Amino acid sequence: MQDKVITFQSTHHVLKAEKILITAGFKFDIIPTPKNISSDCGMSIRFDSQAASISMLYELLNANNISFNLYDYKV
């Protein structure tokens, strides 16, 4: 499984991203930020990079002024 984790600067950004990604039809999970990934926020979004368009994700989040970082995540 090729998962990616998106981290955010705040819980507000996580919740805003959640609404945007649900509306766009993305499938994902909200998870605690993995300990090996540094983040300002304790919540992250995990998704299967093979099932989701990463370029569309970047476009949606950037268009909505949501600061984020994207990491590879091995399950």
Domain of 61: which CATH number? 3.30.70.790
Q: Which domain does 68 fall in, by range?
A: 3-73
pLDDT > 70: what percent of the chain? 96
pLDDT value for 48: 86
Q: Is the per-residue pLDDT at 26 higher than 80? A: yes
Q: Report the domain count for the chain.
A: 1
Q: Is the per-residue pLDDT at 1 higher than 60? A: no
Span 15-28, mean pLDDT?
94
Transcribe 1-50 into DSSP letters: --EEEEEESSHHHHHHHHHHHHHTT---EEEEPPTTS--SSSEEEEEETT
pTM here is 0.86
